[in-house]
């Protein structure tokens, strides 16, 4: 499965770059509109009669400016979501580790071996590694399967033990 972290990071970087470019553009446009504009003693605009007031033009720029800002924040949020999203395997491993805190003895050993092998391990490998009988391993796996921590899948003459 493809990791979403690099994609999310790329989207966040693109959102930051778009924000910087947009900010610089809006700032330059506002400065250009206000260039040469004067304000009177009482705070009123002073411009030639019939000329458009620069503040009216700035008000027209306000809506696109805030829409762009909102879109940029949404894009950054989507990138952050992808960056923080866990793969299903990571979720299963986290859930399994949480549920395994109540295990003890041989059950904990078997479960730890399955977790250390990235969630899949053949049943005959458990017998070899733990030096327990096939019957003991089968009973331990029955209990773990009953608790919903693992599942066994038939593969030829053995079972594949998989984290649930």
Q: How far apart are the first and last CA of the chain?
A: 17
The neighbouring-strand residues paired with 45 are 39
The pLDDT of residue 72 = 96
| 119: alpha, beta or left? (left if phi > 0; alpha if psi -120 to 50) | left
> Domain check: are 116 and 141 in the same one?
yes
Give the distance, in angstroms, between the CA of residue 80 and the centroid of all CA atoms in the same chain.
Answer: 6
Reported as a single tens digit per residue, the pLDDT across 99-146 is: 777 777 888 888 888 888 888 899 999 999 999 999 999 999 998 888
Q: End of a domain among 34, 67, 84? A: 84
Return the number of other C-beta atoms located less than 10 Å from residue 42's C-beta: 5
Reported as a single tens digit per residue, the pLDDT across 31-42 is: 888 887 788 888
CB 40 within 8 A of CB 46: yes
The pLDDT of residue 1 = 55
Whole-structure pTM value = 0.57
Question: Containing domain of residue 108, as a range?
Answer: 88-163
CB 66 within 8 A of CB 73: no
DSSP state of 86: P
151: domain CATH number is 1.10.10.10
Give the distance, in angstroms, between the CA of residue 112 and the centroid of all CA atoms in the same chain.
Answer: 27
């Amino acid at each position: 499965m493809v990791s979403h972290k690099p994609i999310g990071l790329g989207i966040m970087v693109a959102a930051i770059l778009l924000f910087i470019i947009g900010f610089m553009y809006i700032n330059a446009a506002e400065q250009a509109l206000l260039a040469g504009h004067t304000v009177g003693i009482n705070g009123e605009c002073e411009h030639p009669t019939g000329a458009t007031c620069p503040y009216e033009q700035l008000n027209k720029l306000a809506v696109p400016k805030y829409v762009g800002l909102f879109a940029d924040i949404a894009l950054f949020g989507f990138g952050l979501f992808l960056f923080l999203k866990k793969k299903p395997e990571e979720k299963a491993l986290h859930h399994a580790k949480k549920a395994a805190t109540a295990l003890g003895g041989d059950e904990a050993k078997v479960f730890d071996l399955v977790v250390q092998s990235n969630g899949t391990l053949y049943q005959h490998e458990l017998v070899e590694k733990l030096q327990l009988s096939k019957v003991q391993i089968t009973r331990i796996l029955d209990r773990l399967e009953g608790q919903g921590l693992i599942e066994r899948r038939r593969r030829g003459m053995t079972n594949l033990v998989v984290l649930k």
